[in-house]
Amino acid sequence: MKIATYFFAILSVWLSIYSGAWAYDEAWVREKIVAYPELSWLADKKVAVTHDIQAKHEPDSKTPPSVLVYDGRYDEFDRSILGLVALDHVSKGTQEGYEAFVSAQAKDDLKNPPLSYEQYSELHQKYLGLLKSGLARQDMEIALVLGDMGKTTRARTLFGPEGVKAADHDIFLREALMKRPELFPSYEGLTPLAKKLLPLASGLVHIGHITHIEGGVEMFEPLAESGILKTHPLAMDFDGFVHLMDVAGSAGQVVPWSSVVLTSNTYKAITGIDESFRVLRNGGTPQEALSKYVELRGKWLGLTESETQKRYAGLVVRLGANLRRFDPESGKVIKDTFLSLPEESRKEYEERLSPTSPLLPANTPTYIPAVFSNLSRNETLGEASEERLAGAVKIGLPFIYKVLSSPEVDAQRTIRGGDPINFNTAAKFALSENAAQLKEASFSLDGQNQVLVYAKK
């Protein structure tokens, strides 16, 4: 009898992992909507959708949460739900929780292996550490839900009269939390400690920008100036853990119920930033913090010590981070492709786009990695992954340079605090069958600094 009971218990676990749902069904999703009403704000066709495809849709994927509840697809809603599911997996801290977390990650991808059990255990310890500090699990869930509210028309309608109008949704949330946080229905569910910590770190540093080296020293400057790493380290721990869960859910619209993005490489890229934060905590400069992370990413791409001294090194590392690459083989393709470009073009790109360039905008541009990553996945650019990777550099780099060196962008380059240049629409174009035209395409900026692409007919 005991053997039969044990067998059926194991079978139940296996089936739940295989299904990818782990008991997450329509009822579970509806419970979360009741607990956090802001989730329903994401089920709106007017929500600003992120055009960053980090996973390939599988025809046999399980029904996404938005279809279960609303009978229609709402990408940002599905992303937020998967973030909550990932948090639940991490909270378990068990082998079963780990298997559920990584069930959709490719087991045979040597260049992008699944999150390891050791890394999953580290995540669980981060979770337990926050609980021991006095925060509650609900604090983490609310912070995760509120993170994307700047994409919703409902939040912008509520907070617009309060003067909260930043186009960037991270900055929007920071301003909202500082002015009228009680307008969020879930805000009162936060513990007093969370109410204190959340506004301190929210929007102060964008960990995703650093992970992909989307800018330069400006990514670290507000954090260094705030002194928060010394005065309120718990606020940064809180923000960092919520960011990891947000990343875990970032392909929920493609592969629901299990994270495909928070792989071993992604985890080490994000946690690798801790060394740069340590530099700042010990009195180092933003430039030193940036250099520390660029050096780390360069090693992963296989740059030799002599190559790191070359003028092109910084930009090659930035391209590798933008393209989410971690292996020497990809690093060689990126480096060789860049060095094959005309010398004059290379000099212009290095001068304008290297992480240490003084010509980078004061406000880190957003969604540039989405442009490069989407190009590298676009099969119209070649059958082989190496061919698409090279194509992404040849097509994406000239376009990004064209935009960031243009008079209209250069005129606002030194103005800190405005809306960043936003490449989200260009990222959507990079997914199209006309993606190769991006290199020669013209563009304009709308009222919120969104880059609008006009392909030649």
Q: Please tell me the predicted confidence (pLDDT) of residue 59.
A: 42
Mean residue pLDDT of the chain comes to: 91
Strand extents, DSSP E, 409-448: 442-445
Are 355 and 217 within one domain?
no
Q: Please tell me the predicted confidence (pLDDT) of residue 257.
A: 85
pLDDT at 416 over 90: no
pLDDT at 339 over 50: yes
Residue 233 counted as domain residue: yes
Are 229 and 178 within one domain?
yes
Q: Please tell me the predicted confidence (pLDDT) of residue 56.
A: 54
pLDDT at 6 over 60: no
Number of continuous H segments (helices) and E segments (strands) in the chain: 24, 2
Give 120-143 pLDDT, tens digit per residue.
999 999 999 999 999 999 999 999
Q: Please tell me the predicted confidence (pLDDT) of residue 457.
A: 64
Which domain does 406 fall in, by range?
Answer: 301-454
Q: Please tell me the predicted confidence (pLDDT) of residue 8.
A: 35
Q: Please tell me the predicted confidence (pLDDT) of residue 110.
A: 82
Contacts of 341 by beta carbon, 8 Å cutoff, 6+ apart: 349, 394, 397
Number of domains in the chain: 2
Q: Please tell me the predicted confidence (pLDDT) of residue 417.
A: 81
Give 294-323 pLDDT, tens digit per residue.
999 999 999 999 998 999 999 999 999 999
454 membership: H or E segment, kind and range = strand 451-454
Residue 285 counted as domain residue: no
Q: Please tell me the predicted confidence (pLDDT) of residue 196.
A: 97
Are 208 and 80 within one domain?
yes
Residue 209 counted as domain residue: yes
Inter-axis angle of helices 385-404 and 328-339, nearest 10: 50
- CA angle (402, 407, 410) in 5-degree steps: 90
- The 10 Å Cβ neighbour count of residue 30 is 14
Among candidates 201, 321, 202, which has minimal Cα distance to 270? 321
Are 83 and 185 within one domain?
yes
Q: Please tell me the predicted confidence (pLDDT) of residue 13.
A: 37
Give 74-84 pLDDT, tens digit per residue.
999 999 999 99
Last-in-domain residue among 230, 259, 288: 259
Are 314 and 178 within one domain?
no
Would residue 93 be called left, alpha or beta, if left means φ above 0 and alpha means ψ between -120 and 50 degrees?
left
pLDDT at 374 over 70: yes
Contacts of 7 by beta carbon, 8 Å cutoff, 6+ apart: none
- The 10 Å Cβ neighbour count of residue 183 is 14
Are 109 and 217 within one domain?
yes
Of 56-65, 324-333, 405-414, the least confident: 56-65
Last-in-domain residue among 204, 230, 259: 259
Are 206 and 334 within one domain?
no
Residue 278 counted as domain residue: no
Last-in-domain residue among 202, 232, 259: 259
Concatenated DSSP letters of 278-347: HHHHTT--HHHHHHHHHHHHHHHTT--TTGGGSTTHHHHHHHHHHTT--SHHHHHHHHHHHHTS-HHHHH
Give 93-127 pLDDT, tens digit per residue.
999 999 999 999 988 888 899 999 999 999 999 99
pLDDT at 17 over 80: no
For residues 246-266, average pLDDT: 92
